[in-house]
Structure 1
Amino acid sequence: MELSRETDADWWEVEALLDLCFGPARTALSSYRLRDEVPPARDLCLVARGRHGEVAGAIRFWPVRIGDHGAMLLGPVAVHPTRQGEGLGAFLIQSGLDRAHVAGVDRVLLVGDAPYYARFGFARLDGVAMPPPTNPDRVLGVWDWAGVTGPVTPAT
């Protein structure tokens, strides 16, 4: 497996993977409103390629705001169906978090299943609201969230 920073040349292959994993209607999700017209944090976005150069998985991060505080929105993270169950998703998440930490990111949030993401240190964020209709129990964060509350808005 080769892990590298996502480049513009990877964009359409990653988009095809995301459509395969989540369906083309994924862009209707409320979290995508936070990504509209905001470029991803390219230094944190990763692509995993198999031995024949095929995209096996990808992870993206997007800058967001919660009041006066910046954060990174993790997602989407996707693994090709033929590669699921190999630990690639966990590898992408941990690699992305490691890069974010080295880059000085103070906090990361996502919308996901708490039991899965708890192993990476994520916990429910009380007082942080993703755009509706997001279930508040699925809004999770890691690192420094002390005193950070309010609605999540796009970084501008």
Structure 2
Amino acid sequence: MYNLSVETAQDVYEVEALFDLCFAPGREALSSYRLRDDVPSVATLNQVARDAAGILAGAIRFWPVHIGAADALLLGPVAVHPTRQGEGLAAQLIRDTLQLAASQDWDRVMLVGDAPYYARFGFARLEHVVMPPPTNPERVLGQALVAGAWDGVAGEVTRWTGPGRGVD
């Protein structure tokens, strides 16, 4: 029903407008955005979903972060146009991109979100991972893309300073 493809430079303004529509004003003031400031996203994982007419229905982005000495992906934002919500598109975006991330040798992914929603994708609370304030620790969730990838990973989530790994 939807065509998922890598986000291109031509998609950026439309995707940003979708995020503005779907999220509260001031979304960029959230602590997760401080981790994204001046850090390139993982372009190979950023996806857009368009319908048969080419109309943007949803989008998802990923950013690299550090947690202590470990690397991880920070999932988000993910958004679906209000007229397309309830069709399972967000689930498709999440599942497809997590599979893609695993195929690109990422070991772990995290996000800040509602545990009851994201549990169905395999996310669980990361008790020893600390997002910058004022993030609610109950909303810091992670998933191992490789068995045991979160074992022993603890500490503060910090901005990406590493090279490459699909980062534009």
Give the TM-score range, shorter chain: over 0.9
Higher helix share: 1
CA distance in 1, matches of 2:66, 2:89: 29
Report the RMSD for the aligned CA atoms in angstroms: 0.7
Deviation >2 Å, runs of 4+: none
Deviations 1:112-136 (A, max 9, x none): 1111111111100011001100000
Determine whether 1:118 maps to 2:119: yes
Amino acid at match of 1:12: Y
Determine whether 1:146 maps to 2:151: yes
CA distance in 2, matches of 1:24, 1:36: 18
The match for 1:9 is 10
Q: Which runs of 5+ in 2 are unaligned?
A: 162-168
Determine whether 1:155 maps to 2:156: no
Alignment of 1:1-156 (within 5 A): 1-143=2-144, 144-156=149-161
How far apart are 1:67 and its partner, in Å? 1.1
Q: Which runs of 5+ in 1 are unaligned?
A: none
Deviations 1:87-113 (A, max 9, x none): 000000001101001001010000011
TM-score (norm 1): 0.98
How far apart are 1:9 and its partner, in Å? 1.1
TM-score (norm 2): 0.91
CA distance in 2, matches of 1:123, 1:2: 29
Amino acid at match of 2:122: G
Percent of pairs with identical residues: 66
SS in 2 for 1:14: helix
CA distance in 2, matches of 1:131, 1:58: 25
Matched pairs, number: 156
